């Protein structure tokens, strides 16, 4: 990405210099004398060079733009997962969380995660995919842990259970809420790394 921008800048400078030189040579601008006679071959060669430089610049700009659009689309998919995680956090904070809603949200996170990494694998070559394989494995483990924390009710009966369910409403102990928040933040951290890897490709 940075290399392409440097190439575009270099070509743009070359075009500007070539145009300036051509105009000054034809009009005799400047503080020094230049022979006004230009051979047809030199003129054709100069304009052909300028034309090719403009053409190449446009191609590179188009490639950079298409690459940026593709990356933004991937990042928007990550935002969908992050929004689902935020909804889970909001439900837990409300102290009036529907068990079915929480179960649906974590299920949605798993579906979106799979869809995202499948798209990554289809788009990038094997070498680039290696960057994402480890991150995919980590985020899968974290999402499974989050599902367990959200939906697993303890077998042992305690006065203050980590998870209690009454009339479809789930309540969590303070310790369990802390565990859930830690797991959600871990998932967000992994997806931040994924975003960084997408942007440097």
- What span, in angstroms and rounded, lies between the C-alpha atoms of 106 and 183? 12
pTM for the model: 0.68
- 106 lies in which domain range? 2-200
For 140, other C-beta atoms within 10 Å of its C-beta total: 15
The DSSP secondary-structure symbol of 167 reads: T
Confidence of residue 147 (pLDDT cuts 50, 70, 90): very high
pLDDT of the residue at 58: 74
Q: Between residues 67 and 156, which one has the greater pLDDT?
A: 67
Question: Residues 76-115: pLDDT tens digits?
Answer: 999 999 999 999 999 998 877 888 899 899 999 999 999 9
Q: Between residues 18 and 176, which one has the greater pLDDT?
A: 176
- Is the per-residue pLDDT at 48 higher than 70? yes
- What span, in angstroms and rounded, lies between the C-alpha atoms of 76 and 78? 5
pLDDT of the residue at 144: 94
pLDDT of the residue at 27: 55
State mean pLDDT over 124-135.
Answer: 80
What is the number of domains present in the chain? 1
DSSP string, 60-104: HHHHHHHHHHHHHHHHHHHHHHHHHHHHHHHHHHTT-EEHHHHHH
């Amino acid at each position: 990405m940075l290399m392409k921008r440097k190439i575009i800048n270099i070509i743009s400078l070359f075009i500007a210099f070539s145009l300036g030189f051509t105009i000054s040579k034809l009009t005799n601008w400047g503080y020094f004398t230049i022979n006004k006679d230009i051979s047809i071959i030199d003129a054709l060669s100069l304009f052909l060079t300028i034309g090719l430089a403009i053409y190449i610049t446009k191609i590179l700009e188009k490639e950079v733009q298409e690459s940026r659009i593709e990356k933004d689309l991937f990042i928007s998919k990550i935002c969908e997962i992050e929004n689902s995680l935020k909804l889970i956090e909001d439900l837990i904070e409300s102290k009036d969380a529907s068990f079915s809603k929480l179960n649906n949200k974590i299920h949605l996170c798993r579906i979106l995660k799979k869809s995202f990494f499948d798209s990554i694998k289809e788009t990038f070559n094997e070498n680039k995919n290696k960057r994402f394989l480890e991150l995919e494995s980590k985020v899968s483990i974290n999402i499974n842990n989050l599902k367990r924390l959200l939906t697993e009710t303890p077998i042992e009966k305690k006065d203050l259970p980590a998870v209690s369910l009454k009339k479809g409403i789930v309540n969590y102990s303070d310790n369990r809420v802390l565990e859930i928040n830690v797991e959600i933040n871990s998932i967000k951290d992994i997806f931040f790394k994924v975003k960084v890897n997408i942007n440097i490709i």
